[in-house]
Structure 1
Amino acid sequence: MPNAFADKTNPGAGSFGGGSSSGSDTSASGGREGDTLTSAVSGAVIFDRSKNGSGQSAGAVTSATSWTPPACYYAPKYTPKELSAQMRQVWESSAPSHEWALKTQNYFVNGEPYKDFNEDREGEGYWWDAYVTKGREADPGAQDCDEMPFWVDEGDAPPANVPQAITSEMLAQLAYAEIRVPSTKVDLAPQGASKVNLPTWVWLDTAKFKPVSVMASVPLLGLSATTTAEPVSLKIAPGTDDAVTYPASGECEIRNGKIGDPYAKGKADQTPPCGVEYLRSSGNGSYKLQATITWKISWTSTTGQGGNLPNGTFGDDQNVVVQEIQAVNR
């Protein structure tokens, strides 16, 4: 993780700031109240997951493009007294080198550019520092937030030259990483083994596939954003080239809240709106049919801003046994 306080001439010296905590969840002093995570760190991002997908089969969506949420960001982290107490403790220890201690003392105490940690401005603003997004500690992008902590007056915007400073859109992106959606295990007919050259109907229980959302916020700033995922289509991959899909693209759109149609007696001669037809037996094994739901991702915020983020996908495999139709000679 980046550490703006680290003594470059004495690795390991200094242990505060510069992304030293994963603010997109909780600090060690945080906790949980129902489905909402809380943090004692004043500027940490907290999440309300009460409208998220749940259950053992739920999983995280993956961006359909190469886009990923930010690995680090800046937000309020310390009051003047908190930062002063922590830094003075470091300076009094035997770890920091003289060069590093002098550099940071000049920066925070001696007016280059701050004076006495701005302690005379207690309650008028906060020291902003870096947070690393939970689960992204090893990501190279987590090293991008390597600025020294900086002061922001309460109610003011952070400096324009700090691109990773938290915004409503960044909150939406962080919430994206917390989205969980239901399993994509599909229903198949006929039940049991499928038959060569006969359509296998595919459908999903649409009651499970309702929009889900996560809200991310920095209460200290009165800033929040809600990211919502809504299912739009089901993609079928038969698991073999010896198959055709219905429709030919394998993309089954969600129409009128339905993903495919359940098979019913009397439909044997019909073409399923969503399905697969295997052209060769799976022999003594099975094919891995993959069903992937595409989710449209959008966001809104307390600032009135909003828009779309890259679509997300979540898929799962299931084994399909395909047998030859047995002919009976009389």
Structure 2
Amino acid sequence: MTAPPSPGGASGTKGSGGGGTPTGSLGCTFHGKQYPCYDANRGWFNSQDGCYWEAANPQPAAGDPAWQGHQPGDGTVYQVSCDMTGGGGFAFQWRATPPPGYGGAVSIAKLAQQAVSKMTLNGPDIGIAPKPGGKGLVGLPVWLWDNVSPTTYGPNTASASASGVTVTATGQVSQIAWDMGDGTTVTCDDAGVAYQPSFGARMPACGHVYTRTSAHQPGGAYPITATSTWVVNWQATTGQSGQISVTRQSRTSAVIGELQVLNNN
């Protein structure tokens, strides 16, 4: 570890501690003795060396000895305090990655959830042909798709931070399940393809063919529910990562009639 910089230097500024004890920062062990995993004045406890680590805030200026020959943005300079375990005082130490225990598992999980809540993850922006207000026919395909955007299909990214730790999450839809209202569910692994008149009556990869009219349905239409499964991968600056799955829904309907055959005889 390097000695503390001379008084008054930017690298001598003590970390703020993050503004409170995060949830889940209870007992950590070092040489058989319990210590709080987080201390508002010292940072996060490292059970491997028995010291508290907190990212220096602000980070030292370029060329400061605390960087140990590295440049700002290449790793992080931490304020390290070992006085709770007999080391005394504090020093500054550069690390390419956060030390063990930095951030606390429960706190990071909460930050991941906060990042997800910051995203606007919606159900599909439903595209359907025949379009709402029109009428499909028994035996002819109904085309289904999502009008792709970051909020309806992804990718969608957000971050949440606390106590010097940042979790960045990116969400993407993995599949859309279409409940067609006639007892059939169509599961599509992509957003589908928007219908074009040139496609004619061909069957789409994401679509459905009704075998009965919708006349017997309430309101004379089949209710359709589209359920998106969002897979959100998150990464913390502590090196930890994980995945969260959430679902979102949208609804529409389809009027299905019978083809009328004219007899000219």
Scaled by the length of structure 1, the TM-score of the pair is: 0.47
Distance in 1 (CA, whole Å) between partners of 2:21 and 2:141 is 53
Q: 1:232 to 1:272 in 2, by over 3 A?
A: same
Which of residues 143, 147, 157 in structure 2 aligns to 1:213?
A: 157
Name the aligned partner's letter for residue 42 of structure 1. Answer: G
Identity %: 28
In the aligned structure 1, how far is the partner of 2:43 from the partner of 2:21? 17
Where does residue 116 of structure 2 map in the other structure? 176
| Change in 2 beyond 3 A, CA 1:202/1:282 | same
SS state at 1:315 partner: strand
Q: Distance in 2 between matches of 1:174 and 1:203?
A: 30
- Equivalent-residue separation in structure 2 for 1:44 and 1:177 (angstroms): 22
Assess, with a 3 A threshold, how the Cα gap between structure 1 residues 190 and 42 changes in structure 2: closer, same or farther. same
Secondary structure, in 3 states, of the residue corresponding to 1:229?
Answer: strand
Considering fraction of residues, name the structure with more helix: 1
Q: 1:157 maps to what in 2?
A: 45
- Going from structure 1 to structure 2, the CA distance change for 1:211 and 1:316 (only over 3 Å counts) comes to same
Q: Which residue of 2 aligns with 1:226?
A: 168
Structure 1 counterpart of 2:238, one-letter code: T
User: Equivalent residue of 1:157, what SS?
Assistant: strand
Per-residue CA deviations over 1:108-141 (Å, capped at 9, x if unaligned) read: xxxxxxxxxxxxxxxxxx9x8xxxxxxxxxxxxx
Asked if 1:193 is matched to 2:135, the reply is yes
Structure with max Cα Rg: 2
Cα offset for 1:222?
0.8
Q: Which residue of 1 aligns with 2:204?
A: 272
Instruction: Note the residue ranges of structure 1 that are not aligned, 5 or more in a row.
Output: 1-40, 46-72, 77-125, 129-150
Residue 42 of structure 2 aligns with an amino acid whose one-letter code is E
Q: How far did 1:155 drift?
A: 2.3
User: In 2, are the aligned partners of 1:229 and 1:296 still within 8 Å (CA)?
Assistant: yes
The aligned residue for residue 306 of structure 1 is: 241
Whether the aligned pair in 2 keeps the contact of 1:233 and 1:293 (CA below 8 Å) is yes
Aligned partners of 1:278, 1:292: CA distance in 2, in Å?
20
2:122 and 2:228 map into 1 onto residues whose CA distance is 9
Contact residue 203 and residue 261 of structure 1 kept, 8 A: yes
2:146 is matched with 204
Are the structure 2 counterparts of residues 294 and 183 from structure 1 closer, same or farther at C-alpha, using a change threshold of 3 Å? closer
Greater relative contact order: 1 or 2 (C-alpha under 8 angstroms, separation 6 or more)? 1
1:307 deviation in Å?
2.5
2:189 is matched with 253
Q: Which amino acid aligns with 2:45?
A: A
User: Partner amino acid for 2:20?
Assistant: G
What SS does the aligned partner of 1:300 have?
strand
Deviations 1:220-242 (A, max 9, x none): x211211221112221110112x
Distance 1:193 1:158, change over 3 A: farther
Q: How many residues align?
A: 175
What is the match of residue 42 of structure 1? 19
The residue number in structure 2 matching 1:324 is 258
- C-alpha contact 2:137 2:258 (8 A) present in aligned 1: yes
State the one-letter code of the partner of 2:241. G
1:281 maps to 2:194:
no
Contact 1:152–1:158 (CA<8 Å) still a contact in 2? no
Secondary structure (helix, strand or coil) at the match of 1:291 reads: strand
Q: Specify the code of the residue in structure 2 equivalent to 1:277.
A: V
TM-score, reference length from structure 2: 0.57
In the alignment, what sits opposite 1:21? none
> 1:170 offset after TM fit, Å?
3.2
Distance of aligned partners of 1:278 and 1:189 in 2 relative to their CA distance in 1, 3 Å threshold? same
Deviation of 1:297 after TM superposition, in Å, equals: 1.2
**1:216 and 1:226 in contact (8 A); partners too:** yes
Amino acid at match of 2:110: M
Native 8 Å contact 1:43 1:75 kept in 2: no
Structure 2: tracts of 5 or more residues without a match: 1-17, 27-35, 48-103
- Contact 1:215–1:224 (Cα < 8 Å) also in 2: yes
